[in-house]
Amino acid sequence: MPDALPGCSSMPRRRNRKAVDRSRFRKYAEVAEHFFEAGKASMGLEYWTAAGVLFVHSAIAYADALCILQAGVRSAGDDHEDAVALIEELIAGGDERTGAVNQLRRIVEIKTRVSYLGELFSQADARALERKLERFRSWAKSLLER
């Protein structure tokens, strides 16, 4: 086996997971939809930052719903990139999945900016995030409604 890259472990990082009864995926999807609708309402009130936070949480809840349906687990760590990695691990697919996961990854990257850096979202920022969520949400719902 080749040597690991400097500073990298040869063992993959164990993602934090929590077992969840598969029947609960619908509850997580419902929560995701509530966050989505609340984000849309915040857009109407021109609360761009609130909308951004709600859109991020909607995406994460949809990711949890998918993982629960597929394998009875959800990401349990503080690092939401773990949710992205878990989807990549558990959900098979081609280009459509790759595109959806890329949208989720971009949404999660934005979370730090919205939640922790004290930046306010502009209308353009919130609309761009909403579009990313709508793409991911559409894909997620197509799998959850099968």
Structural domains of the chain, ranges and CATH numbers in brackets: 17-144 (1.20.120.330)
> What is the residue-averaged pLDDT of the chain?
86
Average pLDDT over residues 94-114: 88
Instruction: Output the pLDDT for position 24.
Output: 96
- What's the distance, Cα to Cα, between the start and end of the chain in Å? 42
Phi/psi of residue 87, nearest 5 degrees: -60, -45
Q: What is the percentage of the chain residues whose pLDDT exceeds 90?
A: 64
The pTM score is 0.86
pLDDT band at 49, cuts 50/70/90? very high
Please tell me what DSSP assigns to residue 24.
G
Q: Contact at 8 Å (CB) between 122 and 47? A: no
Give pLDDT, residue 91: 87
